């Protein structure tokens, strides 16, 4: 037997057939003019609902297949009358209530008050009485209609810290009228006085509770609290909501804690009279740091004299007012910026910028820019690497001294860019598939050929499309941000104000250029994978 067993969603095709209770038995009368085809499952459901006994399944199947008008399928029995009925459904999250009004079959219609009371027994909040009235008065049978909506909780706002000092601590040296660089007045220290307010903790808010359609309270999620942590020379008052300095000194934020460091000063040189220096604050040295010693500080290091073949390490900035003569032993490592008069025969590394008037025969690496200004502005010998830009007045020498300048791309950033790009392409592909399905379902809907099941599926597909669109927009924003950063790095530049001598090697990204003839003022950039010489900026 070839018969359709699929159930046409929740819609009961009662108009396609009806049962007749006669003296010799129960008959099924099929309406062959009905718009929709008969489903066996609908007939069986109606038989069960009417409690018809001893029915002949084969007779029913033949009647449907042969489209017979009038077929006896059960012995004589009394008809059970079915009243108008109300089905109430509540969504799994209890945020939506639905009503399905079922038509009577020989039974009575319910009264409006009875209809409302049945609904109110299960649904306590958010009822749309106008919608209920519309359903009842227009007899919107066999349609699952939303008639109540709960209230979602509103999350509280997160707490935050209000700072009363500059936690960034960014500065650049000024170039004086005579062309020299002022390394004496950088103003990089956050000086505070005893009793000064340093930070306040602004508490999180509680938010607003929600309520389900069944009347249950949904607690709101309180905003995340943030703690105000303090370290040396700082105290908390007002039940932990305010931080104050206990001593004069320099305030910094280290590893999430507010700390006031007292400055450690050395009146002369770092040599045999002092030994090595290791301090958890700022170090100020009025003399020189002699070969063989080291100075380590948790914050800035200021040296008025010269650094010889010594090791200087700082979690902040390093300032050497006279210069660095490393004798191939000197090494400076900074998690901030490095400012100095000159660098010679040394290894230098800074997370941020490196500023000098001359760099000679050294290995210099910057996580941002290298700027060689002042009267000389010279880079000669060795290798200088910067993430973004290298700027100088003169590079190399008439003797053809081998000098390497390199600016490049952040590999981790490039990897992140590729990852996001692949996600975007995947989402676009999924959106194309969804759009095709939506277009197909829309065409079916116009011809009234879209079943309830497919209509529900269409709604889910549209919701999924909205989610993907939001994800796509978020990823595009991330990609745009990364592209800007990569653009800056891809457009890494070498800027030379006066001249570049033969013997200099320029590396920008993956491209290399050897300078074979003297170049005047210029800016070297990577254009389409090739290093180009452009006017000096």
Hey, what domains does the chain have and what are their CATH numbers? Answer: 14-74 (no CATH), 85-149 (no CATH), 160-259 (no CATH), 411-490 (1.10.287)
pLDDT at residue 181, as a whole number: 62
CA 59 – CA 43 distance, rounded (Å): 12
**Rounded distance between C-alpha atoms, residue 73 and residue 63, angstroms:** 9
DSSP H or E run through 495: strand 493-500
pLDDT 10s digits, 498-517: 999 999 999 887 789 999 99
Which H or E run includes 474?
helix 452-490
Q: Return all residues near 279 (Cβ < 8 A) that are at least 6 apart.
A: 264, 296, 297, 298
Query: Of 37 and 398, which is predicted with more confidence?
Result: 398
**pLDDT at residue 182 is higher than 80:** no
Residue 156 has what pLDDT?
A: 93
Taking the C-alpha atoms of residue 234 and residue 165, their distance in angstroms, rounded to an integer, is 14
The whole-angstrom separation of Cα 48 and Cα 375 is 101
| pLDDT reported for residue 41 | 86
End-to-end CA distance of the chain: 86
CA 329 to chain centre: 45
Q: How many CA atoms lie within 13 A of 154 on its CB side?
A: 5
User: Coil, helix or strand for 530?
Assistant: strand
> Percent helix, strand and coil across the chain, each rounded to 5?
20, 35, 40
For residues 339-350, give the mean pLDDT: 96
Residues comprising the chain, all counted: 537
3-class DSSP state of 446 = helix
The CA distance from 395 to 398, in Å, is 10
pLDDT of 185 over the 50 cut: no
**Cα–Cα distance, 281 to 302 (Å, whole number):** 12
Q: How many CA atoms lie within 13 A of 450 on its CB side?
A: 17
**Taking the CB of residue 334, how many other CB atoms lie within 10 A of it?**
26
76 backbone dihedrals φ, ψ, rounded to 5°:
-60, 140
Please report the pLDDT score of residue 6 as a whole number: 37
Q: What's the confidence (pLDDT) of residue 348? A: 96
| 19 three-state secondary structure | strand
Spatial distance between the Cα atoms of 293 and 279, rounded to a whole number of angstroms? 14
Position 461 scores a pLDDT of 86
Q: For residue 256, give the DSSP letter.
A: T
Q: What is the mean pLDDT of residues 463-480?
A: 90
> What's the pLDDT band for 456 if we cut at 50, 70, 90?
confident
Give the C-alpha separation, 380 to 387, whole Å.
19
Percentage of the chain exceeding pLDDT 70: 90
Quote the CA–CA distance of 89 and 512 in Å, as a whole number.
70
What does the pLDDT look like over 299-341, one tens digit per residue? 899 999 999 999 999 999 999 999 999 999 999 999 999 999 9
Arithmetic mean of pLDDT over the chain: 87
Write down the pLDDT at residue 485.
Answer: 72
pLDDT score for 537: 82
Tell me: pLDDT of 9 over 60. Answer: no
Among residues 326, 338, 340, the alpha carbon closest in space to that of 290 is found at: 326
497 neighbors 377 (Cβ within 8 angstroms): yes
Confidence class for position 458, pLDDT limits 50, 70, 90: confident
Please answer whether residues 182 and 341 qualify as being in contact, where contact means their C-beta atoms are separated by less than 8 angstroms.
no
Q: What does the alpha-carbon distance between residue 81 and residue 79 come to, in Å, rounded to a whole number?
A: 6
DSSP sequence for 29-53: EE-TT-SSPP-HHHHHHHHHHTT--
Give the DSSP per-residue string, 211-251.
E-TTS-EEPPPPPPP---EE-TTEEEETTTTEEEESSSEEE
Band (pLDDT 50/70/90 cuts) for residue 174 is low
Phi, psi of 532 (to 5 degrees): -115, 150
**Predicted pLDDT of residue 172:** 59
């Amino acid at each position: 037997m070839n018969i359709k067993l699929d159930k046409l969603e929740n819609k009961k095709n009662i108009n396609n057939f009806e049962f007749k209770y006669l003296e010799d038995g129960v008959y099924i009368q099929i309406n062959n003019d009905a718009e929709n085809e008969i489903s066996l499952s609908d007939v069986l459901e109606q038989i069960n609902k009417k409690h018809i006994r001893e029915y002949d399944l084969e007779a029913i199947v033949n009647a449907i297949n042969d489209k017979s008008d009038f077929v006896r399928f059960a012995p004589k029995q009394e008809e059970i009358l079915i009243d108008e009925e109300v089905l109430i459904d509540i969504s799994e999250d209890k945020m939506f209530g639905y009503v399905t009004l079922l038509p009577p079959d020989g039974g009575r219609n319910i009264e409006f008050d009875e209809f409302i009371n049945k609904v109110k027994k299960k649904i306590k909040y958010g009822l749309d009485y106008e919608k209920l009235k519309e359903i009842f008065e227009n007899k919107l049978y066999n349609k699952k209609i939303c008639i109540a909506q709960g209230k979602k909780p509103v999350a509280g706002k997160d707490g935050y810290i209000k700072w009363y000092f500059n936690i960034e601590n960014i500065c650049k040296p000024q170039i004086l009228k005579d062309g020299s660089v002022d390394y004496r007045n950088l103003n990089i220290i956050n000086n505070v006085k005893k009793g000064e307010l340093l930070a306040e903790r602004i508490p999180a808010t509680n938010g607003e509770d929600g309520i389900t359609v069944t009347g249950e309270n949904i607690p709101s999620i309180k905003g995340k609290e943030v703690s105000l942590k303090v370290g040396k020379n700082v105290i908390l008052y007002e039940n932990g909501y305010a931080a104050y300095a206990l001593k004069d000194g320099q305030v910094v934020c280290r590893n999430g804690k507010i700390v006031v460091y007292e400055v450690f000063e050395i009146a002369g040189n770092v040599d045999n009279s002092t030994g090595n220096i290791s301090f958890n604050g700022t170090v100020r040295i009025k003399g020189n740091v002699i070969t063989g010693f080291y100075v380590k500080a948790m914050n800035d290091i200021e040296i008025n004299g010269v650094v010889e073949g010594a090791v200087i390490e700082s979690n902040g900035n390093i300032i050497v007012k006279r210069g660095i003569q490393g004798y191939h032993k000197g090494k400076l490592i900074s998690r901030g910026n490095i400012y100095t008069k000159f660098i010679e025969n040394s290894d230098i590394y800074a997370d941020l910028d490196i500023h000098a008037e001359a760099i000679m025969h050294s290995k210099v690496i910057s996580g941002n820019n290298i700027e060689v200004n002042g009267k000389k502005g010279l880079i000669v010998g060795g290798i200088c690497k910067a993430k973004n830009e290298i700027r100088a007045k003169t590079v190399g020498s008439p003797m053809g001294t081998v000098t390497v300048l390199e600016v490049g791309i952040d590999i981790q950033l490039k990897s992140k860019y590729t990852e996001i790009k692949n996600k975007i392409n995947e989402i676009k592909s999924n959106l194309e598939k969804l759009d095709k399905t939506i277009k197909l379902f829309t065409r079916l809907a116009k011809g009234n050929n879209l079943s309830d099941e497919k209509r529900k599926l269409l709604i889910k597909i549209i919701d999924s499309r909205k989610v993907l669109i939001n994800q796509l927009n978020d990823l595009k924003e991330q990609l745009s941000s990364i592209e800007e950063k990569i653009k800056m790095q891809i457009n890494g530049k070498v800027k030379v104000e006066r001249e570049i001598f033969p013997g200099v090697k320029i590396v920008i990204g993956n491209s290399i250029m050897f300078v074979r003839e003297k170049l005047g003022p210029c800016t070297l950039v990577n254009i389409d994978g090739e290093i180009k010489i452009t006017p000096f900026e």
